[in-house]
A and B are shown apart, each in its own frame.
Chain A
Amino acid sequence: MTAPRILEVRTRILKANDELARSMRREFERLGVLVVNLVSSPGTGKTTFLQHTLARFVQQGVPVAAVVGDLETDNDARRLAASGAPVRQIMTHGMCHLEADMVQQHLSGWDLASLHYLFIENVGNLVCPTSWDLGESVRLALLSVTEGEDKPLKYPGLFNTADLAALTKLDLAEACEFNRELARDNIDAVRPGMRIIETSAKTGAGMEEWMAVLVERRQALLASAGARS
């Protein structure tokens, strides 16, 4: 038997997804759409947080849209649509994360150029979405006070890929004996320097700050897109 030939492949496993995501991001930036990928465990309150975010933008007359991924049901899309913003559900039928082509397929027919913000609510999971770039400009990792302060240490991979963090359900902090300084420090330990916003969608606390960060990030995107063209 002859010796095996060695093929030096040296290729990224997610090459196809990465390339599609990169071209989507270029297009979003060219069109002036800030795309935010929301990642967290199930039950952190992504949908409620997003519902309030969309409703505030709709009220201000800012064009926004959202796609939401879930294993089954379109419950979240229906909840989000109550904000008045266009929303589409991506049903993954068992798949634990979203991939760039799933997002792309669900955007067809939307006039992206008319949007200022597009939100992608990922499947609730702190592991699987980590390595899939969806073409977003901002990856927001959410952590609720009911989950415990050490979640970031248990899932450093995901928190480490985030650009921004939000603590949610701060209205329950006292009842949960949540130690916010510890939670903030744990997030900073796995992603040093990342901005952390403390929020409660229920009371509205921190939502102004979050909205201001989005506006700031979009302005930066427009400025860099303008500088390139």
Chain B
Amino acid sequence: MHELSLAANVVEIVSEHVRQAGGGRVAAVTLRLGQLSCVHKDTFEYSFAFVCAGTPLAGAELRIVIVPVVIFCPTCAKEVELPSLQRFVCPVCGTRTADIRQGRELEIESVELLEPSS
């Protein structure tokens, strides 16, 4: 259940951005989660709804973009998407590589903010 800790961090960061933007209600939050980030999507959604209560994020829609793992293959000298997390092997030439270029993301991409009604 580390998703609860992550969700609490999201609420804290987004609330701060909302405050700096002059307040309002958050309609949606978009996250980028790498395939290697070990986040269980359903658990995260549940945790998120729970920690949003009573904050400007209450009722916000959660959009999760899953970021695939991309490795750099030294043999092909280029970046390639990894088809399986069980084998860090270039799908083109079979070279094993630990050079990960993408896939560990745990990021807040953007927030949709509804202005406070005046």
Residues of A143-179 at the interface with B, using a CB-CB cut-off of 8 Å, are: 153, 156-158, 160-161
Which residues of the other chain, A, contact B85 by a CB distance below 8 angstroms? 156-157, 190
Q: Report the Cα distance A2→B25, complex, angstroms.
A: 12
- In the complex, per-residue mask of B67-111: 1 if CB is within 8 Å of any chain A CB, else 0: 000000000000000000111110000001110100010111111
Contact (A160, B36) CB under 8 Å given A13-B6, A97-B2: yes
Which residues of the other chain, A, contact B37 by a CB distance below 8 angstroms? 130-131, 157
Which residues of the other chain, A, contact B31 by a CB distance below 8 angstroms? 13
Chain B nearest CB from A150 CB (Å) reads 9
Which residues of the other chain, A, contact B6 by a CB distance below 8 angstroms? 13-14, 131
Q: Report the Cα distance A96→B110, complex, angstroms.
A: 28
Q: How large is the interface on B (under 10, 10 to 19, 20 to 34, 35 or more residues)?
A: 35 or more
Check: A111 CB closer than 8 A to any chain B CB. Answer: no
Contact (A189, B89) CB under 8 Å given A4-B113, A6-B110, A14-B9: yes
Q: How large is the interface on A (under 10, 10 to 19, 20 to 34, 35 or more residues)?
A: 35 or more
Q: Report the Cα distance A132→B106, complex, angstroms.
A: 11
Across the interface, do A158 and B38 meet the contact criterion of CB distance under 8 Å?
A: yes
Contact (A5, B21) CB under 8 Å given A95-B5, A127-B2: yes
Across the interface, do A188 and B96 meet the contact criterion of CB distance under 8 Å?
A: yes
Check: A227 CB closer than 8 A to any chain B CB. Answer: no
Chain B nearest CB from A161 CB (Å) reads 8
Residue of A nearest to B25 (CB): A4
Contact (A7, B106) CB under 8 Å given A189-B96, A191-B88: no
Across the interface, do B2 and A192 meet the contact criterion of CB distance under 8 Å?
A: no
Could you write out 18 A-B pairs with CB less than 8 Å apart? A1-B114, A2-B114, A2-B115, A4-B113, A4-B114, A5-B114, A5-B115, A10-B108, A12-B107, A97-B5, A127-B38, A128-B38, A130-B38, A131-B2, A131-B6, A157-B85, A160-B100, A189-B96
